[in-house]
Structure 1
């Protein structure tokens, strides 16, 4: 099995060697790690990956190969405590789910503060206290149409607030374009980029022309070999966007290769008062959105990339962000951005027919004046055509 794993890494173009693989086998024989797949992941990445730029590729390859595997063959594994906790999770029928009433934003926050003050011990499987499982709007691992997730992993993605520090990873701009649709979309981006291309100095032609003209300056220009279109790329990262990492990386890689004047920023769900360039430092190296608004001219084309899947509170409500308390609603910031850069579109990786079922997607669609397009060949073509006008 591990030989097949090694070959799988090679197929995914990871520069792993036989020597490193033998070192991994030796570490397993010496019982360097406990009997868990998580420990094996940490050990194998530390031994096999020599350059941190390959971490993302390794993570994807590891996930593909060990999908559904709970333990390495021949190694006894203990059942993780988190799995036992999930055993108390209450599974609701559709009728039971329909009976759960949404508290509303103000009532939800007021009740959460009250629970924090009153609760003195751990709870699991209930409908009131902060805990795991059950139908309480506070905690994790349970089911509620609208609540605050405290710890745990996202499962139903219905939380309007998340009480934890969340880590996102940067998109890989070196991802090879693997699908036919994105390759064809690249040609559309090139066509868009050539429109309005500027001219650059033809130095050799100018020197030759000046020499032939007895020293009188004969300035020669030629069309700029690379495009002169200026693009601002705003990328939603984390949460439900994890399902669309691959297609977003393909688009990100295409934009890096095709646009000479490309600036990009990350945000989560909706844009608020700050953005960031590096997801690993998003809490320590924030960029004021006001600074971005004043940094680039209105000749830039603005492209948002996101699934627009969030709580409506994040768009309409001050303090509505899922991660922190924003002073102004997301709608206010979206209007500022589109007023500054009127040539703006939103690319949505979710299927277009599903947009009508999400209130937040309809809100973003309206705020963008209908300029939302699916992240498909046809959607990119329509979006690029609109931006080029």
Structure 2
């Protein structure tokens, strides 16, 4: 079945939890009809708190390099996530998460967000979703200085572990076809780091990831 933003939204809805909260803003039609009938036809308008989607999502997306061939599907996913989740925070990284991320690809080196600050800013109520192909040299994950862009002091694996510890509800969405995963050493390394919570960017994969995150 084709992915597409509409189908992705349906898959993502497995994660949505609605709570009635906040100010009374919404007409409760069923209750109004019931009370009016019980009140001998005198109109008795009943209101209720509006429904809000209260799921919080922290989305970390790999950009550039081998991810370029997945741009369309990842953009469809991002578009659907933005629509479905009111409480969404997102950041970009390249290949592996290190000590900083960014929100604007054009200003990625001038507007950095320290990963430690991100860890402190959001609480464990956030569901953490990585999106990336995990395709790189294993050295980039496992070694200090492994980044292809700058000399990172700590290995990417350290940062992945910090993130998954801080946000125990997490999953990794991989746009690479699942059939090639076994041939990529770096994917095996990353799968181990994320406790095998890696899912393909397919409708079935998204549904399974959302089911895991909603537990």
TM-score by structure 1 length? 0.49
Counterpart position of 1:315: 141
**How far apart are 1:220 and its partner, in Å?**
6.0
Instruction: From the superposition, tell whether residues 204 and 291 of structure 1 become closer, same or farther in structure 2 (CA, over 3 Å).
Output: same
Aligned pair partner of 1:200 in 22, 39, 42: 22
- For residues 242 and 197 of structure 1, what CA distance do their matches in structure 2 show? 38
Q: Larger C-alpha radius of gyration, 1 or 2?
A: 1
**1:5-24 superposed Cα distances (whole Å, 9 cap, x missing partner):** xxxxxxxxxxxxxxxxxxxx
Confirm or deny: 8 A CA contact 2:15 2:210 kept in the other structure.
yes
Shift of residue 188, structure 1, vs aligned partner: 2.0
Q: Distance in 2 between matches of 1:203 and 1:252?
A: 30
Matches within 5 A, 1:23-34: none
Across the aligned residues of Structure 1 and Structure 2, the Cα RMSD in angstroms comes to 1.9
Q: CA deviation at 1:190?
A: 2.1
Paired residues of 2:137 and 2:186 also in contact (CA < 8 A): yes
Any conservation in 2 of the 1:345–1:383 contact (CA below 8 Å)?
Answer: yes
1:343-365 Cα distance to aligned partner (Å, 9 max, x none): 00000000111101001000000
1:256 matched residue in structure 2:
82
User: Gapped runs of 5+ residues in structure 1?
Assistant: 1-178, 206-218
- What is the total number of aligned residue pairs between the two structures? 198
Structure-2 change in CA distance of 1:204 and 1:340 (3 Å): closer
Residue 189 (structure 1) aligns with: 12
Check the 8 A contact 1:200/1:221 in 2, yes or no.
no
Residue equivalent to 1:238: 64
Shift of 1:203: 4.2
Cα offset, 1:201, TM superposition? 1.8
TM-score w.r.t. structure 2 length?
Answer: 0.87
Higher relative contact order (CA 8 A, sep 6+): 2
Query: 1:165-189: CA deviations, max 9, x gaps?
Result: xxxxxxxxxxxxxx84232221121
**Structure-2 separation of matches of 1:296 and 1:229:** 13
1:298 aligns with 2:121: no
- The answer to whether the 8 A contact 2:144-2:153 is kept is yes
Distance 1:351 1:264 in 2: 24
Distance across 1 between alignment mates of 2:26 and 2:74: 41
Partner of 1:381 in structure 2? 207
Q: 1:198 to 1:372 in 2, by over 3 A?
A: farther
Does the CA-based 8 Å contact 1:198-1:228 persist in structure 2? no
How far off its partner does 1:192 sit?
Answer: 1.7
In 2, Cα distance between equivalents of 1:299 and 1:192: 13
Q: Which residue of 2 aligns with 1:275?
A: 101
Q: Matched residue of 1:298: which SS?
A: coil
Higher strand share: 2
Instruction: Give me the whole-angstrom Cα distance separating, in 2, the residues matched to 1:244 and 1:365.
Output: 19
CA-to-aligned-CA distance 1:54-96 (integer Å, 9 cap, x gap): xxxxxxxxxxxxxxxxxxxxxxxxxxxxxxxxxxxxxxxxxxx
Measured in 2, the distance between the counterparts of 1:240 and 1:305 equals 13
Counterpart position of 2:43: none
Partner secondary structure for residue 304 of structure 1: strand
